Amino acid sequence: MKVFWALTWLLTKRFFRQPAVLFWSLAFPITLSVVLGMAFSRPPAPVRIGIMAPPPFQSPDIEWVPTTPDQLSKHRVGGHFHVWVSQVTPSMQVGGDPSHGDTRLARLLLAQQTSPTPLPSVTVQSRPGGRYIDFLVPGMMALGIMNSSLWGIGYALIDMRNKKMLRRLVATPMPPATLLLAHFMVRLVVGVIESLLLLAITGWLFHLVVQGSIVALCMCFVSGTFAFSGFGVMIGSRTDSSVVGNGLINAVSLPMTICSGVFFTYRSFPNVVANVIEWLPLTVLADALRLGMTEPVGPGDVWVPCMILLAVGLVGHGLGLRWFKWH
Contact positions vs another protein (CB under 8 A): 2-3, 6-7, 10-11, 13-14, 17-18, 160, 163-165, 167-174, 326-327
DSSP string, 149-215: HIIIIIIHHHHHHHTTHHHHHHTSSS-HHHHHHHHHHHHHHHHHHHHHHHHHHHHHHH-----S-HH
- Report yes or no: 282 and 142 within 8 Å, Cβ to Cβ: yes
Name the minimum Å distance from CB 318 to another protein: 20
User: Which residue, 74 or 163, is less far from another protein as judged by CB?
Assistant: 163
φ and ψ of 275, to 5 deg: -70, -25
Name the minimum Å distance from CB 49 to another protein: 56
Burial label for 161, CB within 10 Å (0-12, 13-18, 19+), is buried
Name the minimum Å distance from CB 166 to another protein: 9
User: Which residue, 40 or 326, is less far from another protein as judged by CB?
Assistant: 326
Name the minimum Å distance from CB 79 to another protein: 45
User: Which residue, 4 or 263, is less far from another protein as judged by CB?
Assistant: 4
User: Which residue, 50 or 236, is less far from another protein as judged by CB?
Assistant: 236
Name the minimum Å distance from CB 293 to another protein: 34
Strand, coil or helix: what is 106?
helix
Who's near 208: CB < 8 A, 6+ residues apart?
133, 134, 137, 199, 202
User: Which residue, 100 or 325, is less far from another protein as judged by CB?
Assistant: 325
